[in-house]
Amino acid sequence: FERILHSAGQSYHDLIRLRTNALKDFVDAVVYPGKVAQLQKLIKWASTKKIALVPFGGGSSVVGGLEALRGRGQRAVLSVDLTRMDHCLDLDEYSRTATFEAGIYGPRLEAWLNERGFTLGHFPQSFEYSTLGGWVAARSAGQQSNHYGKIEELLVALEMISPKGELKTLRVPAGATGPDINQIVAGSEGLLGIITKSTVHVHHLPEERRYAAALFPDLQHCVDFQRELTGSSLDMAMIRVSDPEESRLFEMLANAGKSGLAHAFKQRLARQVLKFKNINSGKCLVMLGMDVEEHTARRQDVAVRALVRRYGGFFVGRAAGEKWKQGRFNMPFLRNHLMEVSIGIDTLETATSYSNVIRLHDAVIAALRSAVPSALVMCHLSHSYHDGACLYFTIIFNMSSSDPVAQWRKLKEAANQALMKNGGNMSHHHGIGVDHKSGYQKQNTTANLSLLRAMKRELDPVGILNPGKLFD
């Protein structure tokens, strides 16, 4: 059980392989170091014996980051489960930073901070089953990253053990001190070393986490609105734009099980009101969140509503927003139930500049539809920046009964090609692992890859750390 659990992550590919007995590679054993000294010993021993080590945090990789691969000439592969190294080390309230051992799970970290009046504010969908070290290693993004930043922006300092010794950075807010080692370790997916500690920004618990929804006539209006709001002085935590397909699904789910005259009347009235605003069948739902002080929430509310109107939208109100907030971690669980009835769900995400969002959106949707013609393909813009946004695609399809793995490969290949041809990167916050490796290597120049591989050769000369992923 331990070996199987530690030989796969939570991707659709992992789940179908587990269900169909198609997983071929397993770790030979699982090690649970409890202290840095034990981890150092383990890494030294593995280097000498040529044994591959796959670092394991919450096990929530969706890109094949946990595949039990061994490099050339290696005799075995071990999973290094870091969840015993999960201590809360210190909180500097005045500097708004906290330090944790990297194996700590999201809920434990957040509870410890909450008790002290703080929050990390980092809520990826995997929050309940992922660790701080895993977030940093894969450059995770929380749903409220517009306010708090992606994990690499929340990162102040860290410690990492490599076969060559300990990498360590200072607890300073910024520097002009050479290449940024924090930003080398962030995203290194276990190939350069094993992260043991991280110091991160923390925020006072917001007085208010206010969520609301708005509707817009089409996706272009939403992108215009998202771009404007992200570039404004308003302090938003989330501006989540659903494309027409996803908006339709949310509407269906919201109406499911409701009937009767009153409901029908309300529906009709709503349609009529929206029609006046030219919000019809192509309508898009936007979820708006802010994590701020109560008086700021009230002030911003007025400004956001004005902006919604200016961009042709209709402010729906807070009920829909609150409902989204409650269900926000549920999606991955739903996936397991649907697989029971032979419905597959896979997701993928990318980022691009604002001027390229619509083009990339349409290209990826078209590619996925042509790979699996009967599929329902939808997208939301989950995170936004000064210069662009993250596009998060969900594809729902009838699972192939003959060869679901081949079906998945076809989907994945179609998506990767579409990303590469249309100016998207291979991942915004899931990482590269095995699944995005080929596209990632194509998107880098020869010199980029030489540089990355030289770093690994230096820190891990025997190549024991998570072989076969990312640039390896």
The verdict on 162 binding its own copies (CB under 8 A) reads yes
The verdict on 309 binding its own copies (CB under 8 A) reads no
* Cβ neighbours, 10 Å, residue 390: 23
The verdict on 143 binding its own copies (CB under 8 A) reads no
The answer to whether 41 and 15 have CB atoms below 8 angstroms apart is no
Biggest CA–CA distance in the chain, Å, is 74
Q: Which of 75, 171, 258, 442 binds its own copies (CB under 8 A)?
A: 171
Helix, strand or coil, per DSSP, at residue 85: coil
Minimum CB distance to its own copies, residue 267 (Å): 36
Q: Which of 69, 219, 426, 465 binds its own copies (CB under 8 A)?
A: 426
Cα–Cα distance between 177 and 329 in angstroms, integer?
A: 39
The verdict on 455 binding its own copies (CB under 8 A) reads yes
Of 13-21, 183-191, 209-217, 361-369, which segment contacts its own copies by CB under 8 A? Answer: 183-191
Collect contacts of 20-25 with beta carbons under 8 A, ≥24 apart: 20/404, 20/405, 22/405, 25/67, 25/68, 25/69, 25/77
Q: Which of 233, 281, 401, 402 binds its own copies (CB under 8 A)?
A: 233
Minimum CB distance to its own copies, residue 342 (Å): 31
The answer to whether 429 and 389 have CB atoms below 8 angstroms apart is no
Of 176-184, 249-257, 315-323, 325-333, which segment contacts its own copies by CB under 8 A? Answer: 176-184
Measure the CA angle with vertex 437, ends 348 and 441; round to 5°.
120
Q: Which is nearer to its own copies, 320 or 419 (CB)?
A: 419
Minimum CB distance to its own copies, residue 104 (Å): 20
Q: Which of 378, 381, 446, 335 is nearest to 60 (CA)?
A: 335
The verdict on 431 binding its own copies (CB under 8 A) reads yes
Task: Give phi and psi for 62, each to the nearest 5.
Answer: -115, 20
The alpha carbon dihedral of 303, 306, 311, 313 has a sign of: positive
Number of residues that bind its own copies (CB under 8 A): 92
Residues within window 389-408 making contact with its own copies, judged by CB under 8 A: 389-390
The verdict on 361 binding its own copies (CB under 8 A) reads no
Q: Which of 24, 115, 178, 401 binds its own copies (CB under 8 A)?
A: 178
Distance set, CA 100 to CA 62, 85, 144, 151, 460 (Å)? 24, 9, 21, 14, 25
The verdict on 305 binding its own copies (CB under 8 A) reads no
Minimum CB distance to its own copies, residue 196 (Å): 13
Q: Which of 60, 83, 352, 416 binds its own copies (CB under 8 A)?
A: 352
Of 82-90, 111-119, 242-250, 378-386, which segment contacts its own copies by CB under 8 A? Answer: 378-386
Of 81-89, 327-335, 354-362, 403-411, which segment contacts its own copies by CB under 8 A? Answer: 354-362
Q: Which is nearer to its own copies, 156 or 368 (CB)?
A: 156
Q: Which is nearer to its own copies, 235 or 362 (CB)?
A: 235
Binding mask 324-343 for its own copies (x = CB under 8 A): --------------------
The verdict on 472 binding its own copies (CB under 8 A) reads no
One-letter amino acid at 130 equals S
Cα–Cα distance between 53 and 60 in angstroms, integer?
A: 17
Residues within window 10-39 making contact with its own copies, judged by CB under 8 A: none
Cα–Cα distance between 313 and 407 in angstroms, integer?
A: 39
Q: Which of 177, 267, 342, 370 binds its own copies (CB under 8 A)?
A: 177
Of 22-30, 257-265, 288-296, 319-327, which segment contacts its own copies by CB under 8 A? Answer: 288-296
The verdict on 107 binding its own copies (CB under 8 A) reads no
The verdict on 60 binding its own copies (CB under 8 A) reads no
Cα–Cα distance between 394 and 346 in angstroms, integer?
A: 6
The verdict on 235 binding its own copies (CB under 8 A) reads yes
Distance set, CA 262 to CA 174, 357, 432 (Å)? 58, 40, 50
Cα–Cα distance between 24 and 470 in angstroms, integer?
A: 20
Binding mask 77-96 for its own copies (x = CB under 8 A): ---------------x-xxx
Q: Which of 459, 462, 464, 465 binds its own copies (CB under 8 A)?
A: 459
Distance set, CA 441 to CA 118, 181, 184, 193, 445 (Å)? 40, 21, 17, 21, 8
The verdict on 176 binding its own copies (CB under 8 A) reads yes
The answer to whether 401 and 342 have CB atoms below 8 angstroms apart is yes
Terminal Cα distance for the chain, rounded: 28
Q: Which of 85, 104, 141, 348 binds its own copies (CB under 8 A)?
A: 141
Minimum CB distance to its own copies, residue 293 (Å): 7
Radius of gyration of the chain (CA): 23
Q: Which is nearer to its own copies, 131 or 300 (CB)?
A: 300
